[in-house]
């Protein structure tokens, strides 16, 4: 497949072709019926305009606790669950079931994941909204955050480990160092995938109709998950812009290398401030480690059975606007993957989570999931058949 | 240094199997990989000191193997002027186990580090390529902190499954300037580069692991394809697809026995053709996948010559 004399690596050549094609035709490759309507932007135009000017609705450097509150919609029920990742690390999920849910049905289901250094409590209102629209939804905390346990890289023995290969598992009481808020996108990819597996085994859920929703850093992660796991049938990436690009070997910045050396020789390196809505320290190493997940570089692995919606914010100060998401959707469309970008007009990054930003963003996300997973307990509607 | 390299190249050219002038016994070291204390054994060239500027290589054992099985390769690299570090992956050999909490503990994210006496589950012999790759990269970092090592001249050597790790690390980590895949097993050549779709039985295993935690593993099934976790990890591991992300400046050698399986031999040739930078396939005549002492020595000599050539000093 790879021509050694080609001047472009294959993914780049494909991207160039896709971009050229998109520019020429000006529309995505997917049929119009695969797109959702953005009319809600008109309906909420006055509210969106007010959000861009009202000082009380300004959000800089994070969301606020008042943004996390919501009323549980009538008829929607919840259940807190434990599921496992990476050989036994316990994770927390809060499930939201739609009105009339029956374990004898076959409902579509969505995993809802938080952003950088955040918690599920800040975004479970999205899961509640999706359940109100007829989807099963599960908001999760990643490893070492919130109600989820600490796992790999978050547990260290403070005594010698005397286990040998003669015994595959040993239970023992030990002196233990437990670490929290360890931002690690490699682990977040695994956490999403474990959540998908959990939902596939849940009575009443159709294992072939699973979607994932991620916001901010989580939006890059869900894009990456779609690049490695074809079980995902629909993706919504909010305020994330995984710009297409070639896979690249990661360079370690000199200051981070000194820290990395301390880390492998002493067990723990330096800490840096971690944003945004829930401030805490994170490992300096996270800045290097997270480059191992390259959502934009894995877009060429997303299969045509996965539909991807980007909801970038026009004035996003963290992603520098919406352009990366627009490029990503065009790239996917050029490969025949159903994709769409709807820009949240005038909004900044953290405004997407409240007021009109939330109403519009959560509605469009639910529309996307219902369109591409199908709604209700029945198998896919005929409109969803290929 | 130059003389030693010339001698090394000559030895490689002649296929000689001469033991190092002074037997290399190595020195045990420990490094942390994601919280787990891992074992390594470091071999250094004669005359090596804290003021040397030596190139250095991490050597990674194959599926189910431990560091002790590849020490002879490290000794050979050291005899050719390289610092060579063999490692045990976490959960294997003399390295610590994978750690899981086995009783409920309450925590508060505002207290980032807390200390407890608590019950844990210590798991060994999990064959998880992603974790092993991270261990190799942390071993590279260890070498970069070693006085006398030139932190810009670093290589990776991997045998069997770790031949795939060697190319994976070269594709992910720009610190690696040369790699040798020894009798490599590199999956993915005939699979599409696309998101993985599990078969029904695999999906059932994934559901079970996510809902029940660890699978029941016995001493007999641990670390083999009979363990669902390892089986799933291996099914998704396709290092062949990483080859074209290896930087053009990284040199990759494939060392293959002349009596290797047809699949492994063909894959190594195809892999070499996909590498953008300096690359070659060296065949050890008559050798099967698991090589005899003499064949191993020839393979180690070829690896040493490759590193000596491509981890050139300033």
Whether residue B98 and residue A152 make contact (CB cut-off 8 A), yes or no, is yes
DSSP conformation letters of A249-303: PBPPPHHHHHHHHHHHHHS---EEEE-SSS-EEEETTHHHHGGG--GGGGGGG--
Residue located via tokens 């909420």: A44
Residue of A nearest to B247 (CA): A249
Structure confidence by residue, pLDDT tens digits, A346-374 = 999 999 999 999 999 999 999 999 999 99
Cβ-Cβ contacts under 8 Å for A166 (sequence gap 6 or more):
B219
C-alpha B75/C-alpha B93 separation (Å) is 19
pLDDT of residue B219: 78
Write down the pLDDT at residue B62: 97
ipTM of the complex: 0.91
Q: What is the CA radius of gyration of chain B?
A: 20
User: What band does A378 get if pLDDT is binned at 50, 70 and 90?
Assistant: low
pTM: 0.91
Which B residues, 116 through 135, put their C-beta within 8 Å of a C-beta on chain A?
116-126, 128, 130-131
* Residue A29 tokens, joined: 């490759």
C-alpha A308/C-alpha A293 separation (Å) is 18
For position B15, what pLDDT does the model report?
40
β-partners of residue A177 are A156, B115
For an interface test with B, give the residue of A152, A166, A179, A304 to mutate (most B CBs within 10 A): A152
Lowest mean pLDDT among B87-91, B106-110, B222-226: B222-226
- CB–CB contact B176 A249 (8 Å): yes
Rg (C-alpha) for chain A, rounded Å, is: 21
Report the range of poorest mean pLDDT among B14-23, B156-165, B168-177: B14-23
* A167 in contact with B, Cβ within 8 Å: yes
B269 and chain A in contact, CB less than 8 A: no
Which one of A9, A168, A173 has the shortest CB-CB distance to B125?
Answer: A168
B293 touches chain A (CB under 8 A): no
Q: Which residue of B has its CA nearest to A88?
A: B213
- Cβ burial of A27 (10 Å; 0-12, 13-18, 19+) is exposed
Q: How far apart are CA B47 and CA A304, in angstroms?
A: 59
pLDDT above 90: percentage of residues in chain B: 86
To test the contact with chain B by mutation, choose from A13, A84, A87 the residue with the greatest count of B C-beta atoms within 10 A, namely: A87
Instruction: Name the residue with tokens 């008109």.
Output: A42
| Residues 6+ away with beta carbon under 8 Å from B241 | B188, B191, B193
Q: What residue in B sits closest to A208 (Cα-Cα)?
A: B203
pLDDT greater than 80 at residue B98: yes
Whether A152 and B175 lie within 8 Å, measured CB to CB: no
Which tokens go with B102?
């086995």
What is the Cα–Cα distance from A247 to A256, expressed in whole angstroms? Answer: 21
- Per-residue pLDDT, B312: 79
Say if the Cβ atoms of A177 and B115 lie within 8 Å: yes
Q: How far is CA B252 from CA B170, B176, B248, in A?
A: 9, 10, 10
Distance CA A195, CA A207 (A): 12
- Do A170 and B122 lie within an 8 Å CB cutoff? yes
Cβ–Cβ below 8 Å for B33 and A264: yes
Question: Could you tell me the two tokens for A365?
Answer: 């996300």
A4 three-state secondary structure: coil
Residue A315 contacts residue A346 (beta carbons within 8 Å): yes
Strand partners, B284: B257
Per-residue model confidence (pLDDT) at position A9: 39
Cβ pair A280:B110 closer than 8 A = yes
Q: Model confidence over B143-168: pLDDT tens digits?
A: 999 999 999 999 999 999 999 999 99
Which chain B residues touch A197 with a CB distance below 8 Å? Answer: 203, 206-207, 209-211
Residues 70-99 of B with CB under 8 A from A: 92-93, 96-99
* pLDDT interval class at A197 (50, 70, 90): very high
Q: Is B160 exposed, middle or buried (0-12, 13-18, 19+ CB in 10 A)?
A: buried
Which residues on chain A are in Cβ contact (under 8 Å) with B114?
A: 177-178, 180
Contacts of A227 in chain B (CB under 8 A): 195
pLDDT (tens digit, 9 = 90+) per residue, B24-34? 689 999 999 99
CA distance A59 to A350: 6
Can you give the pLDDT at residue B226?
78
**A257·B35 Cβ contact <8 A:** no
CB contact at 8 A, A179 and B32: no
CB contact under 8 A, A200 and B229: no
A255 to chain B, any CB pair closer than 8 A? The answer is: no
What is the model's pLDDT at position A229? 98
DSSP character for B89? P
Distance from C-alpha of A103 to C-alpha of A91, rounded to nearest angstrom:
23
Contact assessment for residue A93 and residue A198, using Cβ atoms and an 8 Å cutoff:
yes
Q: What is the mean pLDDT of residues A237-259?
A: 96
Backbone angles phi, psi at A237, to 5 degrees: -110, 110
Chain B residues whose CB is inside 8 A of the A278 CB are 109
In the three-class reduction of DSSP (H, G, I as helix; E, B as strand; rest coil), residue A207 is classed as strand
Contacts of B234 (CB under 8 A, 6+ apart): B127, B129, B187, B225
- Cβ distance of A166 and B100 shorter than 8 Å: no
Which CATH number is associated with domain B18-104+119-196+236-312?
A: 3.40.50.1820
To which residue do tokens 């497949």 refer? A1
The CB density around residue A250, as the number of other CB atoms within 10 Å, is: 16
Q: Which two tokens stand for residue A150?
A: 């600490």
Residue labelled with tokens 């606020």: A64
Tokens of B288: 């099967």
Listed range (A321-325, A373-377, B68-72, B289-293) with the worst mean pLDDT = A373-377
Alpha carbon of B35: minimum distance to chain A alpha carbons (Å): 5
Token code pair at residue A281? 């320290």
Chain A CB contacts of B124 below 8 Å: 163-165, 167-169
């Amino acid at each position: 497949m790879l021509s050694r004399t080609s001047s472009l690596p294959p993914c780049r050549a494909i991207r160039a072709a896709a971009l050229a094609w998109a520019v020429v035709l000006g529309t995505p490759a997917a049929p119009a019926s695969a797109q959702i309507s953005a009319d809600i932007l008109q309906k909420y135009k006055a509210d969106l305009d007010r959000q861009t000017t009202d000082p009380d609705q300004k959000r800089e450097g994070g969301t606020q606790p008042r943004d996390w509150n919501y009323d549980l919609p009538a008829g929607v029920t919840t259940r807190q669950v434990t599921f496992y990742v990476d050989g036994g690390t316990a994770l927390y999920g809060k499930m939201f079931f739609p009105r009339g849910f029956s374990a004898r049905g076959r409902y579509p289901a969505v995993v809802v994941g938080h952003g950088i250094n955040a918690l599920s409590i800040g975004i479970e209102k999205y899961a509640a909204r999706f359940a109100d629209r007829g989807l099963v939804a599960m908001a999760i905390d990643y490893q070492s955050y919130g109600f989820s346990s600490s796992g790999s890289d978050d547990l260290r023995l403070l005594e010698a480990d005397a286990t040998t290969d003669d015994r595959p598992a040993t239970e023992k009481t030990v002196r233990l160092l437990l670490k929290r808020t360890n931002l690690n996108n490699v682990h977040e990819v695994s956490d999403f995938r474990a959540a998908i597996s959990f939902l596939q085994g849940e009575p009443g859920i159709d294992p072939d109709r699973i979607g994932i929703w991620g916001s901010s850093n989580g939006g890059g992660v869900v894009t990456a998950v779609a690049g490695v796991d074809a079980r995902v049938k629909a993706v919504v990436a909010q305020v994330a812009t995984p710009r297409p690009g070639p896979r690249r070997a990661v360079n370690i910045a000199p200051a981070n290398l000194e820290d990395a050396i301390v880390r492998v020789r002493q067990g723990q390196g330096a800490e840096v401030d971690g944003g945004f809505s829930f401030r805490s320290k994170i490992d300096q190493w996270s800045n290097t480690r997270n480059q191992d997940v390259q959502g934009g570089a894995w877009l060429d692995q997303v299969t045509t059975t996965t539909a991807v919606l980007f909801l970038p914010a026009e004035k996003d100060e963290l992603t520098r606007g919406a352009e990366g998401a627009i490029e990503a959707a065009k790239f996917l469309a050029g490969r025949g993957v159903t994709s769409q970008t709807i820009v949240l007009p005038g909004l900044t990054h953290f405004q997407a989570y409240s007021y009109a930003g939330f109403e519009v963003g959560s509605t469009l996300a639910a529309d996307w999931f219902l369109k591409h997973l199908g709604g209700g307990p029945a198998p896919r509607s005929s409109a969803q058949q290929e | 240094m130059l003389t030693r390299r010339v001698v090394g190249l000559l030895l490689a050219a002649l296929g000689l199997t001469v033991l190092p002038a002074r037997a290399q016994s190595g020195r045990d070291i420990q490094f942390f990989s994601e919280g787990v204390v891992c074992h390594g054994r470091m071999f250094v060239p004669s005359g090596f000191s804290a003021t040397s500027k030596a190139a250095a290589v991490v050597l990674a054992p194959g599926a189910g193997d431990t560091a002790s099985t590849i020490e002879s390769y490290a000794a050979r690299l050291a005899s050719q002027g390289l610092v060579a570090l063999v490692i045990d992956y976490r959960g294997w050999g003399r390295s610590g186990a994978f750690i899981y909490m086995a009783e409920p503990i309450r925590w508060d994210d505002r207290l980032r580090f807390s200390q407890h006496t608590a019950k844990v589950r210590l798991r060994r012999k999990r064959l998880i390529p992603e974790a092993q790759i991270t261990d190799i990269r942390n071993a590279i970092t260890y070498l970069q902190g070693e006085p006398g090592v030139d932190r810009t001249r670093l290589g990776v050597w991997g045998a069997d499954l770790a031949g795939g790790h060697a190319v994976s690390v070269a594709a992910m980590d720009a610190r690696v300037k040369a790699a040798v895949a020894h009798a490599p097993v590199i999956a993915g050549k005939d699979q599409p580069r696309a998101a993985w779709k599990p078969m029904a039985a695999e999906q059932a295993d994934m559901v079970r692991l996510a809902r029940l935690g660890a699978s029941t593993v016995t001493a007999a099934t641990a670390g083999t394809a009979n363990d669902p976790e390892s089986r799933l990890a291996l099914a998704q591991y396709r290092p062949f697809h990483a080859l074209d992300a290896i930087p053009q400046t990284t040199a990759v050698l494939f060392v293959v026995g002349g009596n290797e399986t047809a699949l492994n031999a063909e894959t190594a040739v195809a892999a070499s053709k996909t590498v953008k930078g300096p690359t070659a396939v060296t065949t050890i005549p008559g050798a099967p996948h698991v090589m005899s002492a003499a064949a191993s020595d020839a393979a180690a000599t070829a690896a040493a010559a490759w590193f000596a050539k491509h981890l050139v000093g300033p």
